[in-house]
Chains A and B, each alone.
Chain A
Amino acid sequence: MQTTSVTTMRPIESPMRRALRRFRRHRLAMFSVGVLLVIIVLAVGADFLQGYPPDKMSLGNASKPPSAEHWLGTDRIGRDMWSRLIHGGQVSLLIGLAATLISLSVGIVFGALSGFYGGWVDMVLQRLTDIVMAFPSIVLMMTLAVFTGPGLINVIVIIGAVSWTGVTRLVRAEFLAAKERVYVEAARCIGVDNLSIIFKHILPNTLAPVVAQAAFSVGLAILTEAGLSFLGLGVPLPTSTWGNMLEPARELQVLSNMPWMWMPPALLIVLTVLCVNFIGDGLRDALDPRTLL
């Protein structure tokens, strides 16, 4: 194989370093990291980059198109669109990350327990996974959203609660393979307890595919939030999120005559998800020992 000849010419490096090096060579992913960093800086530094506070209303200035004063115009109660856009970024990114954190934790724990213990634990957890997977995710989310009512935390929990199944299956498969390996056998022999074996020994070795998966689910979570908010089931007003900002476009007047009110959040959603997906691709390629880079 070609790979061998290439790698033997290099000094031995840690898997981490190697992944990093390979990731850096994925130019699209690196470019995306750059763009995403800009978006994150804008969102995190929103308080310093705004001309107006996001909730500052000025009824006399409602629905004004972009100007030097208001870079992206104003919304229908005269709030600064630029300020709302970057503050909306905070919330959208937060939801993306937090929901992913939830789905990853649930997914990893369930997958690990299921794969490691097998037997009835596996049986119960896998049937549970089956049940959740038997719902179309949007249907389940609409039902849950009506159930909990709108709310930032609610949206995060709903998205997290619906999207852990993929990770579970992934981790379970990795565990099934890993628990037969020699190092696990060795750990057992010296009397390491099960939990330590699961979390200290096996888990770190199975994380590579999960990391890439995590990047994709951040993108998915951002889209889901926007979708729920678009249907009026998401984060309650006056908090601005990109999905909330898009909702007025369901009205003809805004859609056809006030593009400054919906195009910027629409573009940012697409751009952010695009970047996150590219990064996910880069990570997957970088962490997968089989790909050539």
Chain B
Amino acid sequence: MTQYILRRLLVIVPVLLGVTIVVFILINLIPGDPAAFYVSPDLGSNPAQMEIVRERLGLNQPLPVRYVKWLAQTLTGDFGYRTKNGDPVGPVIWLRLQNTMLLAGIALFIGASIGITLGVFTAVRQYSVWDYALTAFSFLGIAMPAFVVGIFGLYVFALKIPLFPAGGISTIGKETSILDTLYHAILPAALLSLNYLASFMRYTRFSLLEVLKQDYVSNARAKGLRENRVINVHALRNALLPVITAIGLSLPSLVVGAVFMETIFSWPGMGTLYLDAVMSRDYPLIMGMNLISASVILLTNLLTDITYAYVDPRIRYS
């Protein structure tokens, strides 16, 4: 097992290098650079101004030199500075990361807890009206894109019935407090959770129904155990395995962010930060964000596999 983990970790390194090279080449092929972003055409710009900035940002050096410089700097733990406003990239990402983790974390929590509950509920009542209604709801939840859910939610719960703030992360003028932040987070998080909720519910229902067909469940029933106990103790534990995998594979969204929901609710998270970075050709920020999200994705994949192997002894990696 240790050997397996080591090997997987070793594979991650070249993949990460590949990711950064791909991103680096790609963003440098995009027409326009950070210098060109600064100068608004409406205000009358001229190429000489762009040249000043280009010089200052070191964009006049050849591509490989810049990549190696970036790599060397990053290896020391320094992500450099944003070209857009000179902010250090590391702290900027960390700040946005906290916001995104809060938003996506709440969403994931709501989605997993309610989703699994409803999944069990529908599975044990297969073919009931509840089952049909909730299954239909779950299909809807999966088919509804975040921007549709977000727009509808904003429209209904912030504009027509103003229960929640329509955007932002805190009330201005008040001291930042956890309660206030939570109050701002609850509507976007709830809307964001719909998708998780729907898919976890389907996973749970499907997987539990499969397990309930297994012989050992029939055995448990035959032993005369009460249905509650059969499901909670015997079936559910095994049924949750694929659900846990699904949750594990959703974890990277804690880092990547939810660009649509963040856009609609003005939530300063990773999604909007990335959109901003791409639109302003903020090279160091784009590189930093891609590196971080790629690392997290690769590590969660590995972690999911390992957990799976631990929980399910039938699986052997070699």
The answer to whether A and B touch directly, with their CB atoms under 8 angstroms apart, is yes
Cα-based distance from A266 to B147 in the complex (angstroms): 9
Whether the Cβ atoms of B145 and A227 lie closer than 8 Å is yes
Across the interface, A255 reaches (CB within 8 A) one of B159, B259, B298, namely: B159
A60 / chain B contacts, CB cutoff of 8 Å:
none
- Interface membership of A116, Cβ < 8 A: no
Size band of the interface chain A makes with B: 20 to 34
Contact flags B280-306 to A (C-beta < 8 A → 1, else 0):
000000100110011001100000000
Whether the Cβ atoms of B23 and A131 lie closer than 8 Å is no
B259 / chain A contacts, CB cutoff of 8 Å:
138, 142, 231
- Minimal Cβ-Cβ distance residue in B for A149: B31
A266 / chain B contacts, CB cutoff of 8 Å:
148, 151-152
Contact flags A115-156 to B (C-beta < 8 A → 1, else 0):
000000000000100110111101100111011000000000
Whether the Cβ atoms of B148 and A278 lie closer than 8 Å is no
Contact flags B19-60 to A (C-beta < 8 A → 1, else 0):
100110011011000000000000000000000000000000
Cα-based distance from A135 to B274 in the complex (angstroms): 13
Contact flags B109-134 to A (C-beta < 8 A → 1, else 0):
00000000000000000000000000
Chain A stretch 84-106: residues in CB contact (< 8 A) with chain B: none
Chain A stretch 205-231: residues in CB contact (< 8 A) with chain B: 219, 223, 226-227, 230-231
Across the interface, B145 reaches (CB within 8 A) one of A131, A269, A277, namely: A269
Whether the Cβ atoms of B26 and A134 lie closer than 8 Å is no
A146 / chain B contacts, CB cutoff of 8 Å:
30, 278-279
Cα-based distance from A249 to B279 in the complex (angstroms): 21
- Interface membership of A245, Cβ < 8 A: no
- Interface membership of B220, Cβ < 8 A: no
Q: Which of B136-144, B184-192, B224-232 contacts A (4 or more CB under 8 A)?
A: B136-144
Across the interface, A130 reaches (CB within 8 A) one of B15, B271, B274, namely: B15
Whether the Cβ atoms of B263 and A136 lie closer than 8 Å is no
A144 / chain B contacts, CB cutoff of 8 Å:
26
Interface of A is mostly: helix
Cα-based distance from A274 to B14 in the complex (angstroms): 39
- Interface membership of A246, Cβ < 8 A: yes
Number of interface residues of B (CB under 8 A): 46
Whether the Cβ atoms of A230 and B260 lie closer than 8 Å is yes
Interface of B is mostly: helix
Given the known interface contacts A130-B11, A131-B22, A231-B263, the answer about A277 and B297 at a Cβ–Cβ threshold of 8 Å is no
Chain B stretch 148-188: residues in CB contact (< 8 A) with chain A: 148, 151-152, 154-155, 159-160
Cα-based distance from A177 to B256 in the complex (angstroms): 35
Across the interface, A135 reaches (CB within 8 A) one of B142, B264, B294, namely: B294
Whether the Cβ atoms of A255 and B155 lie closer than 8 Å is yes
B140 / chain A contacts, CB cutoff of 8 Å:
270, 274
A277 / chain B contacts, CB cutoff of 8 Å:
139, 142-143
Cα-based distance from A227 to B195 in the complex (angstroms): 15
Given the known interface contacts A131-B22, A249-B151, the answer about A256 and B159 at a Cβ–Cβ threshold of 8 Å is yes
- Minimal Cβ-Cβ distance residue in A for B289: A139
- Minimal Cβ-Cβ distance residue in B for A32: B139
A223 / chain B contacts, CB cutoff of 8 Å:
145
- Could you tell me the distance in whole angstroms from the C-beta of A266 to the nearest C-beta in chain B? 5
- Could you tell me the distance in whole angstroms from the C-beta of A251 to the nearest C-beta in chain B? 11
Given the known interface contacts A127-B18, A136-B256, A139-B274, the answer about A270 and B143 at a Cβ–Cβ threshold of 8 Å is yes
Q: Which 6 A-B pairs have the closest CB atoms?
A: A136-B256, A273-B143, A134-B294, A274-B143, A131-B18, A130-B15
Would you give 17 A-B contacts (Cβ < 8 Å), ordered by A? A133-B297, A135-B290, A136-B252, A136-B253, A136-B256, A139-B293, A142-B275, A143-B26, A146-B30, A146-B278, A246-B147, A246-B151, A255-B151, A266-B151, A270-B140, A274-B140, A277-B143
